[in-house]
């Protein structure tokens, strides 16, 4: 009854009402201040929640209902505008608590750099963690025009911590020659252009391992995700991404955290990107949270 409780507006569809008994925690990381091209992903978490009302709560793909996964929507983490360093600290601190409480962290970017402190916090608990990474871009630079903290560096930063051989990138189609060479020389897995087929080969090798999955929406072709910072023609379809999510769901990896980043609503008048992001998140929640 509306009169005797706080209005809980604009939460992700069918999110669980309380933190305590939730299995997972959804949170927004509305930061876009290090992007080199088109900013605006700060508005993604709010828009993804808003359009989630157009979704069914049940999945025909997985025969499961959102009620079964108990995801608490914690809202957006407050982040200081224009200060990447402090922003990353805030995120790390928040996620560290979520993980300590035994819950699965589910993040919505924001730019890709927000995934770095999340992965670091999860890695503190799971030292044998591997990373599965879907993206159009390598994100393997040590710096971007001198900046250590940049949307072009998060995968390199985490690879330096957990070891490049524990990082598996898929769908990559853009980057520097030097990034690709570094990856090859250091035993990191990179599948160029393709996602589903190479993923199916990798998954059995990760059976039983704790895995963090980070998805940059631009792994999709711009036809399927026009609302992102850097559109890059030649990506995969929504169908392929759904199949890849379901492949992970059907595998023996232990997903200990995941995120979806780089949705940039202002470039997509149709809102198809935010809608797709909401659906992908639903499928990831339904398939990966046991």
CB-count exposure of residue 8 (10 Å: 0-12, 13-18, 19+):
exposed
Query: Cβ closer to a second copy: 205 or 237?
Result: 237
What is the rounded distance in angstroms from the CA atom of residue 168 to the CA atom of residue 190? Answer: 6
Q: Any contact of residue 93 with a second copy (CB under 8 A)?
A: no
Q: What number of other Cβ atoms are within 10 A of residue 208's Cβ? A: 9
Q: Any contact of residue 259 with a second copy (CB under 8 A)?
A: no
Q: Any contact of residue 106 with a second copy (CB under 8 A)?
A: no
Query: Cβ closer to a second copy: 137 or 212?
Result: 137
Q: Is 135 annotated as a binding residue?
A: yes
Query: Cβ closer to a second copy: 8 or 207?
Result: 8
Q: Any contact of residue 19 with a second copy (CB under 8 A)?
A: yes
What is the rounded distance in angstroms from the CA atom of residue 140 to the CA atom of residue 176? Answer: 9
What is the rounded distance in angstroms from the CA atom of residue 7 to the CA atom of residue 121? Answer: 31
Q: Any contact of residue 250 with a second copy (CB under 8 A)?
A: no
Q: Any contact of residue 144 with a second copy (CB under 8 A)?
A: yes
Q: Which of 83, 142, 186, 254 binds a second copy (CB under 8 A)?
A: 83
Query: Cβ closer to a second copy: 59 or 130?
Result: 59
**Could you tell me the smallest distance in angstroms from the CB atom of residue 120 to a second copy?**
19
What is the rounded distance in angstroms from the CA atom of residue 153 to the CA atom of residue 36? Answer: 12
Q: Which of 192, 202, 209, 247 binds a second copy (CB under 8 A)?
A: 192
Q: Is 139 annotated as a binding residue?
A: yes
Q: Which of 142, 200, 226, 247 binds a second copy (CB under 8 A)?
A: 226
Name the segment binding a second copy (CB under 8 A); options: 119-127, 206-214, 217-225, 249-257.
217-225
Q: Any contact of residue 67 with a second copy (CB under 8 A)?
A: no
Among the listed residues 194, 282, 276, 193, the one whose alpha carbon sits nearest the alpha carbon of residue 227: 276
Q: Which of 13, 23, 61, 89 binds a second copy (CB under 8 A)?
A: 61
Query: Cβ closer to a second copy: 31 or 130?
Result: 31
Query: Cβ closer to a second copy: 34 or 214?
Result: 34
Q: Which of 97, 128, 160, 204 binds a second copy (CB under 8 A)?
A: 97
What is the rounded distance in angstroms from the CA atom of residue 141 to the CA atom of residue 80? Answer: 24
Name the segment binding a second copy (CB under 8 A); options: 196-204, 208-216, 220-228, 250-258.
220-228
Where do we find the tokens 């850097």? 230
Q: Alpha-carbon dihedral of residues 89, 32, 152, 210, nearest 10 degrees?
A: 50
Q: Any contact of residue 125 with a second copy (CB under 8 A)?
A: no
Q: Any contact of residue 169 with a second copy (CB under 8 A)?
A: no
* 68: its two tokens: 């079964």
Is the CB of residue 209 less than 8 Å from the CB of residue 128?
yes
Give me the helix-helix angle, 272-288 and 44-51, nearest 10°. Answer: 80
Is the CB of residue 108 less than 8 Å from the CB of residue 281?
yes
What is the rounded distance in angstroms from the CA atom of residue 50 to the CA atom of residue 10? Answer: 6
Query: Cβ closer to a second copy: 126 or 144?
Result: 144
Q: Please compute, for residue 7, the number of CA atoms within 13 A of its CA located in the half-sphere on the CB side.
A: 4
What is the rounded distance in angstroms from the CA atom of residue 287 to the CA atom of residue 250? Answer: 8
Binding residues for Mn(2+), by number, are: 112, 135, 137, 139, 216, 218
């Amino acid at each position: 009854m509306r009169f005797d409780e706080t209005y809980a507006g604009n939460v992700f569809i069918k999110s669980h009402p309380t933190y305590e008994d939730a299995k997972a925690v959804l949170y927004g990381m509305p930061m876009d201040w290090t992007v080199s091209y088109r900013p605006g992903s700060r508005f993604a978490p709010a828009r993804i929640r808003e359009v989630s009302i157009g979704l069914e709560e049940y999945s025909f793909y997985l025969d499961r209902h959102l009620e079964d996964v108990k995801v608490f929507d914690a809202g957006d983490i407050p982040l200081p505008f224009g200060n990447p360093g402090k922003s990353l600290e805030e995120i790390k601190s928040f996620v560290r608590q979520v993980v300590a409480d035994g819950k699965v962290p589910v993040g919505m970017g924001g730019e890709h750099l927000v995934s770095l402190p999340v992965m670091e916090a999860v890695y503190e608990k799971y030292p044998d963690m591997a990373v599965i990474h879907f993206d159009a871009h390598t994100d393997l630079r040590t710096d971007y025009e001198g900046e250590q903290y940049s949307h072009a560096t998060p995968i390199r930063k985490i690879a330096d911590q957990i070891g490049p051989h524990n990082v598996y990138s898929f769908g990559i189609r853009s980057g520097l020659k030097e990034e690709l060479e570094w990856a090859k020389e250091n035993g990191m897995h990179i599948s160029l252009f393709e996602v589903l087929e190479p993923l199916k080969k990798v998954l059995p090798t990760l059976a039983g391992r704790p895995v963090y999955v980070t998805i940059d929406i631009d792994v999709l072709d711009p036809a399927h995700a026009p609302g992102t910072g850097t559109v890059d023609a030649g990506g995969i379809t929504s169908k392929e991404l759904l199949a890849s999510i379901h492949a992970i769901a059907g595998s023996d990896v232990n997903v200990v955290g995941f995120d979806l980043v780089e949705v940039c609503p202002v470039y997509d008048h149709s809102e198809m990107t935010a809608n797709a992001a909401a659906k992908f998140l639903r499928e990831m929640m339904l398939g990966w949270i046991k």
